[in-house]
Amino acid sequence: MRSAVNWAVLGLVIERPSYGYELFQRLERRYGGVLDPPISQIYAALNALERAELIEPLPEEERAPVSEDALRPAAKRQPKVHYRATASGARAFREWVAEQMREDPRHVELLRRIAGTAAAGVDRAGTMRTLVDAYERACVEEASMLPLPPAREAATPAAAAGELVERLVLAARRGLLDAHFAWIAYARKEIDAFERTRTRTIDEPADA
């Protein structure tokens, strides 16, 4: 799957089960200016993701209480198909994120340490959060030290080419930091979910 829109839609569905129009709005809020697909492309992404069994329709009885968006009169009239991620969808998304980050050894090291901590059990969720916090601090420090791009004011073609390269290099650094930042938000949710699962397992009586 090559389409950035498909991956973005999958990421949003993993965060929260959702339907086409709501996903369109969430995508616009989150990635407006970077990804601006027409709504038809959201529906195409949902079809492609469902065909690949990365998402599935959410049974009606499992839907969350009515969200704000669904209160709009237009949305009330017809039931929307809500989608949630399948286990293979969540796995595919994790692998895709890892792929995006592979070129950053610092991030690989963080993942290695989180994996080591995860194996040690639920009481280590705090340690994992500390690792993620420290990583976030490093990212925000780096982002704050990147200058704004140079003005487009070069007098010669050679200088203009130099500026162009500087702007592109800077944009690449920023793009990576944006990806890391999205990953940090995602990692925090995963750690919360990990802690809940582990707590449930421990709380269950031995004969259950």
Partner 1 sequence: MSLLTLERVSKRYRRGRREITALDDVSLTIAPGELVAIWGVPRSGRTTLLRIAAGLEQPDGGDVRFRGEALAPSHAEGLPRGIGYVEVGLASVGGESILDQVAMPLLARGTAPETARARAMLQLERVGAVGCARLQPRELDPTERVRVAIAQALVGGPRLLLVDDPTRHVDLLEREAVLLLVRSIADGQVAVLMTTGEAMGVSGVDRALTISGGVLRSEARPEPANVVALRSVRSGAERL
181 sits near partner 1 (criterion: CB under 8 A) = yes
Given the structure tokens 């697909």, which residue do they identify? 37
Give me the residues paired with residue 133 across strands: none
Binder among 38, 65, 73, 205 for partner 1 (CB under 8 A)? 65
> Is 188 within 8 Å of 132 (Cβ atoms)?
yes
- The whole-angstrom separation of Cα 56 and Cα 83 is 5
Torsion angle of C-alpha atoms 27, 28, 29, 35, degrees rounded to 10: 80
30 sits near partner 1 (criterion: CB under 8 A) = yes
5 sits near partner 1 (criterion: CB under 8 A) = no
Q: Mask: binding to partner 1, 100-119, rule CB under 8 A, as x and -?
A: ----xxx-------------
- The whole-angstrom separation of Cα 174 and Cα 176 is 5
User: One-letter amino acid identity for 151?
Assistant: A
| Choices 5-13, 41-49, 83-91, 177-185 (CB under 8 A): range interacting with partner 1 | 177-185
| Choices 2-10, 39-47, 63-71, 79-87 (CB under 8 A): range interacting with partner 1 | 63-71
Give me 176's structure tokens.
Answer: 């990576």
148 sits near partner 1 (criterion: CB under 8 A) = yes
63 sits near partner 1 (criterion: CB under 8 A) = no
52 sits near partner 1 (criterion: CB under 8 A) = no
Binder among 59, 73, 147, 157 for partner 1 (CB under 8 A)? 147
Candidates 115, 132, 123, 131; CA nearest to 183 is: 132
71 sits near partner 1 (criterion: CB under 8 A) = no
**Those residues with Cβ within 8 angstroms of residue 11's Cβ, 6 or more apart along the chain or in another chain:** 93, 182, 186
Q: Which residues bind partner 1 (CB under 8 A)?
A: 29-30, 32-34, 65-66, 68, 104-106, 133, 136-137, 140-150, 166, 169-170, 172-175, 177-178, 181-182, 184-185, 188
